[in-house]
Amino acid sequence: MRLNELADNPGATRPRKRIGRGTGSGTGKTSGKGHKGQKARSGVAVNGFEGGQMPLYRRLPKRGFTNIFRKQYGVLNLGRLQAAIESGKVDAGKAIDAAVLVAAGIVRDAKDGVRLLGKGDLTSKIEIHVAGASKAAVEAVEKAGGSVVLPAGAAVES
């Protein structure tokens, strides 16, 4: 194979449409835009406009709201934490917090803190500092001989 023998697969490319180049080209005169009207003009993008009819997004009822102060937590399951301890990414002898988990690559982004969930099994004795934890997760950690440390005022959620 040589550089001068390189070619695209047949049908991989097609010539660009040259508009406004005479009536014989098939796209002359109005250049495929039809006659007059808002969409024939330049710089018009009319998303959601339905020709004066009440648009769909205004016809449908609106419910609820988005809380802009909502906290988002990084999620950590017990099974994933145990796998990280066994593989040596996390030292079970030291206190485990969000920074350790992010550095080890177990939690991608701590966001507003890490929330510990009870999926999976934990056999290592650990001390873990998290922003929130489920009842099942706290019970599993305490059963293994460890402890879950929550910030002041945070309650264990079911």
Residue 134, H or E segment? none
Q: What is the pLDDT of residues 123-150, one digit of tens each?
A: 999 999 999 999 999 999 999 999 999 9
- What local confidence, expressed as pLDDT, does residue 152 receive? 83
Token pair for 156: 């264990």
Domains of the chain: 16-64 (no CATH), 74-149 (3.100.10.10)
Q: Which amino acid is at 41?
A: R
Let me know if 152 is exposed, middle or buried by CB neighbors in 10 A (0-12, 13-18, 19+). exposed
Q: What is the pLDDT of residues 25-72, one digit of tens each?
A: 999 999 999 999 888 998 888 898 888 899 999 999 999 999 999 999
Residues 6+ apart with CB under 8 A from 116: 76, 78, 81, 128, 130, 132, 133, 134, 137, 138, 141, 148
- What local confidence, expressed as pLDDT, does residue 146 receive? 93
Q: Which of 29, 39, 114 is nearest to 80 (CA)?
A: 114
- What local confidence, expressed as pLDDT, does residue 100 receive? 93
Let me know if 60 is exposed, middle or buried by CB neighbors in 10 A (0-12, 13-18, 19+). exposed
Q: Which of 8-12, 31-35, 104-108, 151-155 has the lowest mean pLDDT?
A: 151-155
Q: What is the pLDDT of residues 5-22, one digit of tens each?
A: 999 999 999 999 999 999
Would you give the distance in Å from CA 47 to the centre of its chain?
A: 25
- What local confidence, expressed as pLDDT, does residue 51 receive? 81
Token pair for 149: 């440390």
- 3-class state of residue 10 by DSSP: coil
- pTM (predicted TM-score): 0.61
- What local confidence, expressed as pLDDT, does residue 43 receive? 85
